[in-house]
Structure 1
Amino acid sequence: MSNDNKIIKPYVKQFYKNNKLNFTFALIEVIAVAAIMIGISWILQQVTDLVAGSNNTFTLLQIVIISGGALLAFLIVYLIAYKFKPLFITKGISQYKEYVFESITKKNISAFTGEESSKYISALTNDIQIIQTGYLDDTFMIILNIITFLGALALMLYYSPLLTLIAIGLAVVPVIASMIFGGKMAKAEKLVSDQNEVYTATLKDTLSGFSVIKSFKVEAQMLKNFKENVRRLANCQNKKLRMKILMELVSSLSAIVVQIGIFIIAAYFVLNNMGVTAGVTIVFVQLLNYVLSPIKVLPQSLAERKAAKKLLVKIATELEQNIREEKESNVSLNKGIVIQNLSFGYEQGKEILHSINCNFELGKKYAIVGTSGSGKSTLLNLLMASYNSYSGSINYDNTEIKDINSDNLYAIESIIQQNVFIFNTTIKDNITMFQSFSDEAIANAIEMSGLKTLVEEKGLDYICGENGSGLSGGEKQRVSIARSLLRKSQVLLVDEATAALDKETAYQVSNSILNLDGVTSIVVTHSLEEALLKQYDEILTLKNGSIVEAGTFDSLIKNKGYFYSLFTVSQ
């Protein structure tokens, strides 16, 4: 098995998982249709020879009865296809989509900080039709053409081996030509898919950054960029369509040449009494269509299958990246988090954190302060197991974070970020994250997070809008707090959660976080308000990736060191 086949095997399996019965009946229909088509050719030969006065035929009544049976069989097999073939295709594609989406959810928590989401959007939208055609629809088309080809060839050999050999000889050239075009077609299909990704990404950026585009009056430039991407995509599609037409032209011309040549040669055999009857001549041309049709259609079907395979390999390869290696260790946090000699850089040779040493005791409140770029958010990312390429250790009680199972880790801790993502659904669903909780637990989380007023005004069934467009910045942050409370997270990581809020709302949200009993809060903040900072058990001050000071607000102010400078400047 080739490496590509190994990579896509679990994805192809999704087409057939719990779907074999539907596939079997759809396959039976294809085989039966091929057999009936060959049978109808034989009936045509019998009728022609009967009219021509040949003695080696069935009677007219017998032919009528056989024909009626063939038509009845044809109707039955198409009824089978009507029921089972759509079920096989829709179920197979649905399972494939679900498997791809499930694989995306297994990626590392930091995956989409370094990857483009557009490639996955394209894989689950634009590429699906190509995969359905190439790996499902064309599977039946390929089987039908192969069976029809073999059946027609067998009957041709029965009628005239010599004429059959001549036909095969004439058909070799179009087969070779079609194989060559098939490879080029697959490359053209991949180019279209790649450009579709770029197009999707541009469209997504334009809509997501619409307010920025309008405020900076760059509509014309964005339109120019969009048109350029449309033009590039159109060029790729144009090349693909031209390649397809060229392949069809070569196949069609070859088929015409072979068909006319065989008809002329068969006529010569009849005129010279070489064992070929008028009925055999007519049916030979009919059977030749069944031989030539696969020669014409199969290369295109195989090219589409090859193109679909490239797309399967592409998504499978992408989904193998940024996967956190899961361990069996589970932790029940009883003491806290200990960081020793922690150093890390996103790129090799460019260290951001240097020899970090600190303890976060269970139930206490910690602030991490420092100028932009000092490594505050990076430290929180490492506490969320976003990266494992660090040196030193991060221990939850006595267990290194690398050895903790993801489900266990994210049951222990949760994070509130500056940009809270809100789903376009109800307040309740956004708080519960589509999970089941008791009404009492939900009500408690709403009360403690400060959402009670919002819920009383709008109700739990209020639709928040796309990315929370119906909520204010402070309300979004409170929803995020409620999520963490509902999950009973022992550790709450907060990354500049109030940076985009007005001063009053920022104070209220920060105060809500500090008042959470029994929760270890580790808060990255740019806001140096004395009333809030005095509530932290310890403040860690980062400078150029190192902890230069740590202590309570009063002790740090008394020392008049780096923190004192930051605090003084901020006032």
Structure 2
Amino acid sequence: MSLKYARRSQVICFTILAAIKACNILFVAYMIKIMLNVASSHSKDVMHLVRLAALTALGQLCFMLSNFIYERVKMGIIRDVNMVFKRANLQYLVDQGDPDIKNGLSLMTNDLKQIETNRITAQLDMIYQGLTFIGSLAFALYNSWQMTIIFVVAMAAPAVVQIFTSKIITKKSKIWAKTNASYTQNVSDSLNGAQSAKLYNVRNNIVVRATHSAQNMENALRNMNLTQAWALELIYSAAELFCFIIPCTIGGIMMMQGSLSVGTLFMMVDLAMNFITPVVTLFNEFNQVKSTVPMWKKTQKALNYEAIENSEKPEKFEGLDVEHLAYQTKSDKHTIFTDVNLQVKPGEKILLMAPSGWGKTTLLRLMLGLKRPVEGKILINGENVTGDWAKAHNYFSYVNQKPFMFDDTLRFNITLGRKVSDEKLKKVIHLAGLDELVKKEGLDHKVGEAGNGLSGGQIQRIEIARALLSGRPILLADEATSALDPNLSFAIHETLLKNPHVAVIEVAHKISPEEKAMFNKIVRLNLCEGKKD
């Protein structure tokens, strides 16, 4: 149940306020009964009716104030539970690091909104409707148990309809979830591929592709909502026929026979609608909850996920050893490389050279513990860390060819939200060659989406600053300067390689002789092994 992720005090408070709100119905029904009985008793005491009406109005005012608080608490629960779900899903998606982000985008936008509307809100409403049903039923039994039994027996009809329709709704919701994920990906593709589409004059093709996907999604959503609407209509129709018309006819006969007063019959009809309507609403809310099953399963996976947080900085680094490493793809068992050997000492600068497509990035991911080899092992300080992200990754920083920039400030993009002293930050900025940029723009300068307000060299320097700020003993550089001009590439390498306290392992397939000269060791890799220059 979604509400277990809300604070217990909130749920208890909501339940009390929902019970008070449910009593509003009983209060009005009871006051109407008294007023009708007084009116039908041929009494001439008009002021009695006026006093009863004033009391009813005063009671309604008190209930109204309580209902304001009820809505505030309800919205607070929805907000807080939503934040629990969003945080859990974000944590899970970030930890998984899936390059195909369409499912994650769909989950964080449309799916979670469906869960909010059709699950969290529905379950809160079910609490209120359940209390309304119990209160109305108990009060009705107290006033006329015969009529109450008639109304209760009649409720079997909408229950049968609900059972029949819930399975269809679940099936329709699965189709909608699938088409919505496809639509999200197509929109993402259209926006990311906009420049290529404009260049080759195929914008219409891209728009048609995304529009077709949108049409499929909208059709699936329409079918799901239509099924829910039809189900609700069937439930209400069954309720009106079996739970209202037939029982009211029987009540009318009892009144004609003198066994039921006008006020009591009117109150029973009002109460019946208020313990039949909640039941019908409960059936509908249950269908709403069922419609979120596919989305809820995704969120449950995130809620049950336990992130292993290992942020301890290594006390020392004595050396990295790669021994007889071999890797195969999982899908087709294709061998990428075999028998790779490498030794890295503290502060050593090593260049790994191999042709494009050799598997250099895969080798770095093996060192990080993101992948596991089919043969061989990786040792850090003599300890086997092969395929163990938790043990391995805190020894490494990483400089990508295309670093990701957050749509945030320079400060955030360098620190990634970590608390850093001004002195340490200033030192890292200087080492990374960012003094001029920071002086000109300031640390609170917004870099824009994907860093579109920065040059390629500035982005690379921010990535280097991130690496240096981490203080980790090994820096991995993955084709870090291949997209830069020669002068900028040389400057970046000077920044990367001049720190004697950091070991650098760079993979590249094209680099100038001047840059090669900065490394302590060059390892040329072929399909079978590593060979040293």
SS at match of 1:367: strand
The aligned residue for residue 18 of structure 2 is 30
User: 2 CA distance for matches of 1:288 and 1:311?
Assistant: 36
User: 1 CA distance for matches of 2:179 and 2:267?
Assistant: 48
The aligned residue for residue 409 of structure 2 is 426
Aligned CA distance change for structure 1 residues 217 and 324 (closer, same or farther; 3 Å): farther
Q: Could you tell which deviates more after superposition, 414-423 or 335-344?
A: 335-344
Aligned CA distance change for structure 1 residues 472 and 197 (closer, same or farther; 3 Å): same
Query: Does the alignment pair 1:263 with 2:248?
Result: yes
User: Residue 183 of structure 2 contacts residue 217 of structure 2 at CA under 8 Å; is this kept in 1?
Assistant: yes
Query: Matches of residues 118-267 of structure 1 in structure 2 within 5 Å?
Result: 118-258=102-242, 259-267=244-252
Query: Matches of residues 111-122 of structure 1 in structure 2 within 5 Å?
Result: 111-113=97-99, 116-122=100-106
Q: Could you tell which deviates more after superposition, 469-478 or 440-449?
A: 440-449
User: 2 CA distance for matches of 1:372 and 1:521?
Assistant: 20
Q: Could you tell which deviates more after superposition, 23-32 or 457-466?
A: 457-466
Q: Could you tell which deviates more after superposition, 421-430 or 382-391?
A: 382-391
Whichever residue aligns with residue 112 of structure 1, its letter is D
Aligned CA distance change for structure 1 residues 324 and 86 (closer, same or farther; 3 Å): closer
The aligned residue for residue 493 of structure 1 is 476
Q: Could you tell which deviates more after superposition, 153-162 or 473-482?
A: 153-162
Aligned CA distance change for structure 1 residues 319 and 121 (closer, same or farther; 3 Å): farther
For residues 250-291 of structure 1, what are the alpha-carbon distances to aligned partners after superposition, in whole Å with 9 as ceiling and x for unaligned? Answer: 022112213122221111111123x22222221221112112
User: Residue 434 of structure 2 contacts residue 458 of structure 2 at CA under 8 Å; is this kept in 1?
Assistant: yes
The aligned residue for residue 91 of structure 2 is 102
User: 1 CA distance for matches of 2:252 and 2:303?
Assistant: 60
Aligned CA distance change for structure 1 residues 514 and 97 (closer, same or farther; 3 Å): same
User: 1 CA distance for matches of 2:396 and 2:511?
Assistant: 25
User: Residue 342 of structure 1 contacts residue 357 of structure 1 at CA under 8 Å; is this kept in 2?
Assistant: yes
User: Residue 92 of structure 2 contacts residue 302 of structure 2 at CA under 8 Å; is this kept in 1?
Assistant: no
SS at match of 1:247: helix
For residues 306-351 of structure 1, what are the alpha-carbon distances to aligned partners after superposition, in whole Å with 9 as ceiling and x for unaligned? Answer: 2334422123336878x88678997434321111122222316323
User: Residue 326 of structure 1 contacts residue 405 of structure 1 at CA under 8 Å; is this kept in 2?
Assistant: no
The aligned residue for residue 559 of structure 1 is none
Q: Could you tell which deviates more after superposition, 491-500 or 510-519?
A: 510-519
Aligned CA distance change for structure 1 residues 447 and 331 (closer, same or farther; 3 Å): closer
The aligned residue for residue 561 of structure 1 is none
Whichever residue aligns with residue 210 of structure 2, its letter is F
Query: Matches of residues 339-378 of structure 1 in structure 2 within 5 Å?
Result: 339-347=322-330, 349-378=333-362
Identify the match of residue 526 of structure 2 among 543, 554, 562: 543
Alignment coverage as a number of residue pairs: 528
Whichever residue aligns with residue 255 of structure 2, its letter is V
Q: Could you tell which deviates more after superposition, 188-197 or 277-286?
A: 188-197
Gaps of 5+ in 1: 6-10, 552-571
Identify the match of residue 278 of structure 1 among 262, 277, 288: 262
For residues 420-454 of structure 1, what are the alpha-carbon distances to aligned partners after superposition, in whole Å with 9 as ceiling and x for unaligned? Answer: 11122222222222223233322322222222233
The aligned residue for residue 91 of structure 1 is 80
User: Residue 369 of structure 1 contacts residue 542 of structure 1 at CA under 8 Å; is this kept in 2?
Assistant: yes
Whichever residue aligns with residue 547 of structure 1, its letter is E
What displacement does 1:91 show?
2.3
User: 1 CA distance for matches of 2:388 and 2:530?
Assistant: 30
Whichever residue aligns with residue 525 of structure 2, its letter is L
User: Residue 186 of structure 1 contacts residue 304 of structure 1 at CA under 8 Å; is this kept in 2?
Assistant: no
The aligned residue for residue 462 of structure 1 is 445
Q: Could you tell which deviates more after superposition, 198-207 or 312-321?
A: 312-321
For residues 463-510 of structure 1, what are the alpha-carbon distances to aligned partners after superposition, in whole Å with 9 as ceiling and x for unaligned? Answer: 211111011111111111111112222111000111222232223222
User: 2 CA distance for matches of 1:221 and 1:240?
Assistant: 29
Whichever residue aligns with residue 254 of structure 2, its letter is F
Aligned CA distance change for structure 1 residues 389 and 12 (closer, same or farther; 3 Å): farther
Query: Does the alignment pair 1:506 with 2:489?
Result: yes
User: Residue 394 of structure 1 contacts residue 400 of structure 1 at CA under 8 Å; is this kept in 2?
Assistant: yes
For residues 59-81 of structure 1, what are the alpha-carbon distances to aligned partners after superposition, in whole Å with 9 as ceiling and x for unaligned? Answer: 75884575356324413422422
User: Residue 89 of structure 2 contacts residue 302 of structure 2 at CA under 8 Å; is this kept in 1?
Assistant: no
Whichever residue aligns with residue 30 of structure 2, its letter is W
Aligned CA distance change for structure 1 residues 501 and 78 (closer, same or farther; 3 Å): same
User: 2 CA distance for matches of 1:392 and 1:371?
Assistant: 22
Aligned CA distance change for structure 1 residues 54 and 392 (closer, same or farther; 3 Å): farther
User: Residue 330 of structure 1 contacts residue 405 of structure 1 at CA under 8 Å; is this kept in 2?
Assistant: no
Query: Matches of residues 476-487 of structure 1 in structure 2 within 5 Å?
Result: 476-487=459-470
User: 2 CA distance for matches of 1:244 and 1:304?
Assistant: 8
SS at match of 1:471: coil
User: 2 CA distance for matches of 1:319 and 1:178?
Assistant: 30
Aligned CA distance change for structure 1 residues 454 and 25 (closer, same or farther; 3 Å): same
SS at match of 1:528: coil
User: Residue 327 of structure 1 contacts residue 405 of structure 1 at CA under 8 Å; is this kept in 2?
Assistant: no
Whichever residue aligns with residue 229 of structure 1, its letter is S
User: 1 CA distance for matches of 2:325 and 2:339?
Assistant: 5
Query: Does the alignment pair 1:50 with 2:31?
Result: no
The aligned residue for residue 366 of structure 2 is 382
User: Residue 333 of structure 1 contacts residue 396 of structure 1 at CA under 8 Å; is this kept in 2?
Assistant: no
User: 2 CA distance for matches of 1:325 and 1:38?
Assistant: 53
Identify the match of residue 67 of structure 1 among 35, 47, 56: 56
Q: Could you tell which deviates more after superposition, 233-242 or 448-457?
A: 448-457
Identify the match of residue 515 of structure 2 among 508, 529, 532: 532
Q: Could you tell which deviates more after superposition, 70-79 or 174-183?
A: 70-79
RMSD: 2.7
User: 2 CA distance for matches of 1:161 and 1:212?
Assistant: 74
Aligned CA distance change for structure 1 residues 150 and 425 (closer, same or farther; 3 Å): closer
Aligned CA distance change for structure 1 residues 328 and 222 (closer, same or farther; 3 Å): closer
The aligned residue for residue 336 of structure 1 is 319
For residues 188-225 of structure 1, what are the alpha-carbon distances to aligned partners after superposition, in whole Å with 9 as ceiling and x for unaligned? Answer: 23332332222111111221222222223321221111
User: Residue 138 of structure 1 contacts residue 301 of structure 1 at CA under 8 Å; is this kept in 2?
Assistant: yes
User: 1 CA distance for matches of 2:141 and 2:522?
Assistant: 90
Aligned CA distance change for structure 1 residues 414 and 319 (closer, same or farther; 3 Å): farther
For residues 78-124 of structure 1, what are the alpha-carbon distances to aligned partners after superposition, in whole Å with 9 as ceiling and x for unaligned? Answer: 242254332222222223322322333433xxx323xx222222222
Q: Could you tell which deviates more after superposition, 197-206 or 212-221?
A: 212-221
Aligned CA distance change for structure 1 residues 143 and 63 (closer, same or farther; 3 Å): same
User: Residue 431 of structure 2 contacts residue 495 of structure 2 at CA under 8 Å; is this kept in 1?
Assistant: yes
Between the aligned residues of both structures, percent identity stands at 22
The TM-score normalised by the length of structure 1 is 0.85
User: 2 CA distance for matches of 1:443 and 1:61?
Assistant: 79
